[in-house]
């Protein structure tokens, strides 16, 4: 039932993206998200799509694994698309009934917003598929290191985020096992209206919470048994280094940022006759 959820899972393979510094990948994802929301036309969005395609190819992760991460937000995409198509005002009206209006501008805006969310989720999935939880922890801790001077628990925060990502696939497997056990006892999760389906999930949530607390207690006992004491006097077996791959990827992302900015500024001068239909304001 939840086997298609890939967020938080790591795909082990040797690739250019896997070997990149986790600090750079985290910063690159943040910069990519910023560029997605800065882009206000389809040409700038196309530049973002080109970079995402290049990253997926360089990561050697199957495109199906990346696309499956979008299944978790299909409802959000459909709901957002419905609101924008029927309630976004515009000049070219195709259909109108009461307060609901279908316009050309609404359709364009809806499609642009869907693509923006689509690329955002896929880019986040590429990060988790190509970076181990340990590397993510080290990268986050290194990026937040300046906060240690104000006594902020950087290491503990990075560890919490890493454990949360690591336990997503584990909890998904546990949920599937509980659902299979409930179905074997005659439970029905697929028939009835949405309220009956939500009510049918209650017998799944209770054992899932009990299992999550039990796993958390076992993890805490294991850390205590290994004398874990947080960041105090803690050393690193593998130190992060900025290499030539990171320099090449940095240049690539700088080109992306420049391309998006140039498309936003000069799109009207290059395509004046169709600019009004592609610009998202």
Write the pLDDT tens digit of every residue in 62-114: 888 888 877 777 777 787 777 777 776 766 667 777 677 777 777 777 888 88
Mean pLDDT of 169-188: 80
Q: What angle do CA 255, 68, 199 make, to 5 degrees?
A: 135
**CB-based contacts of 57-64 (< 8 A; 24+ apart in sequence):** 58/15, 58/16, 58/17, 59/11, 59/13, 59/15, 59/16, 59/17, 59/18, 59/126, 59/129, 59/130, 60/13, 60/14, 60/15, 60/17, 60/18, 61/11, 61/13, 61/15, 61/126, 61/129, 61/130, 62/11
Higher pLDDT, 120 or 167: 120
Q: How confident is the model at residue 6 (pLDDT cuts 50, 70, 90)?
A: low
Q: How far is CA 252 from CA 31, 130, 166, 245, in A?
A: 12, 18, 30, 11
Judge whether 108 and 280 are in contact, CB under 8 Å.
Answer: yes
Averaged pLDDT, 246-264: 76
| Residue 269 confidence class, pLDDT cut points 50, 70, 90 | low
Predicted structure pTM score: 0.72
pLDDT band at 1 (very low <50, low <70, confident <90, very high): very low
């Amino acid at each position: 039932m939840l086997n298609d959820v890939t967020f938080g899972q790591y795909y082990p393979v040797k690739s250019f993206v896997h070997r990149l510094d986790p600090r750079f990948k985290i910063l690159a994802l943040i910069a990519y998200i910023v560029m997605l929301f800065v882009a206000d036309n389809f040409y700038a969005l196309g530049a973002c799509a080109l970079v995402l395609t290049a990253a997926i190819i360089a990561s050697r992760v199957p495109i199906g694994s990346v696309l499956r991460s979008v299944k978790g937000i299909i409802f959000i995409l459909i709901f957002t698309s419905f609101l924008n198509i029927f309630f976004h005002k515009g000049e070219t009206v195709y259909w109108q009934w009461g307060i609901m209006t279908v316009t050309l501008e609404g359709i364009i805006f809806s499609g642009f917003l869907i693509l923006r969310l689509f690329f955002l989720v896929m880019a986040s999935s590429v990060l988790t598929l190509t970076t181990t939880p340990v590397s993510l922890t080290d990268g986050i801790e290194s990026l937040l290191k300046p906060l240690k001077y104000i006594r902020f628990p950087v290491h503990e925060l990075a560890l919490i985020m890493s454990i949360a990502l690591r336990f997503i696939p584990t909890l998904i497997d546990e949920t599937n096992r509980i659902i299979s056990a409930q179905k074997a006892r005659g439970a029905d999760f697929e028939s009835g209206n949405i309220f009956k389906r939500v009510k049918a999930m209650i017998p799944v949530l209770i054992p899932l919470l009990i299992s999550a607390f039990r796993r958390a207690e076992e993890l805490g006992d294991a850390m205590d048994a290994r004398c874990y004491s947080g960041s105090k006097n803690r050393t690193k077996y593998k130190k992060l280094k900025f290499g030539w791959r990171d320099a090449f990827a940095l240049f690539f992302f700088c080109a992306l940022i420049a391309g998006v900015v140039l498309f936003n500024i000069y799109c009207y001068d290059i395509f004046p006759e169709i600019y009004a239909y592609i610009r998202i304001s």
